[in-house]
Amino acid sequence: MKVKIKTWEAMEKEYGLNKDSESIAILFAFTDNMEKLMPKDRIIEVSIAEGKQGYAWEFEDVQYEISDNMIEEWIFRDDEVKDTIQRIVDDL
């Protein structure tokens, strides 16, 4: 799944900074290091984090946790939507 991550400034305005001023005060803190790793378009590939809340983002063999609070937009392809709906229906 691809998502577009909010800008540091947008998250800081919405949630504020932690005491250390190096991370945004939300579930799975968004750190200044994560900000530095973001691509220009801020679109990243995430997967469902097994046994955890949120999503996993892997960058250079390091896994980061992404929460819904960090996501500005979901980027879906039509075939992904169809497959996801089919899995949900199959699980009913």
Dump pLDDT digits (tens) for 63-74. Answer: 889 998 999 998
DSSP class of 8: H
Count of the separate structural domains present in the chain: 1
Say what the pLDDT of residue 9 is: 93
Per-residue CA distances from 70 to 27, 38, 80, 82, 91 (Å): 9, 12, 21, 25, 28
Mean pLDDT computed over 38-50: 89
What is the residue whose two structure tokens read 């991550």? 5
Say what the pLDDT of residue 11 is: 92
Mean pLDDT computed over 15-37: 86
Mean pLDDT computed over 25-49: 88
What is the pTM for the complete model shown?
Answer: 0.75
Mean pLDDT of the chain: 86
Containing structural domain, residue 8: 2-91
